[in-house]
A = this chain, B = another copy of it.
Amino acid sequence: MQVIIRKATIEDAPQMLELIKELALFEEEPDEVEITAKELEADGFGTSPAFTCFVAENNNSIVGMALVYYRYSTWKGKVIHLEDLIVKQDSRGMGIGTLLLDKVIKFSSNLGVKRISWEVLDWNEPAIDFYEKKGARIMRDWDVVQLDEKGIKNYLSRIN
Q: Which residues of B contact A120 (CB under 8 A)?
A: 142-143, 145
- Say how many copies of this protein the assembly contains: 2
Complex CA distance for A116 and B154, rounded to whole angstroms: 13
Closest to A135 in B: B151
Q: Is A2 an interface residue (CB 8 A)?
A: no
Distance between A18 CB and nearest chain B CB, rounded to angstroms: 12
Complex CA distance for A117 and B152, rounded to whole angstroms: 11
Q: Is A45 an interface residue (CB 8 A)?
A: no
Q: Is A90 an interface residue (CB 8 A)?
A: no
Interface stretch of the complex, out of A3-11, A56-64, A72-80: A72-80
Distance between A115 CB and nearest chain B CB, rounded to angstroms: 6
Asked whether A70 lies within 8 Å of B50 as measured between CB atoms, the reply is yes
Asked whether B137 lies within 8 Å of A145 as measured between CB atoms, the reply is yes
Q: Which residues of B contact A78 (CB under 8 A)?
A: 43, 50
Q: Which residues of B contact A75 (CB under 8 A)?
A: 20, 24, 29, 32-35
Of B71, B105, B116, B149, the contact of A114 (CB 8 Å cutoff): B149
Given contact pairs A83-B73, A84-B74, A144 touches B142 in the complex (Cβ within 8 A) = yes
Distance between A46 CB and nearest chain B CB, rounded to angstroms: 12
Q: Which 4 A-B pairs have the closest CB atoms?
A: A142-B144, A114-B149, A139-B144, A116-B147
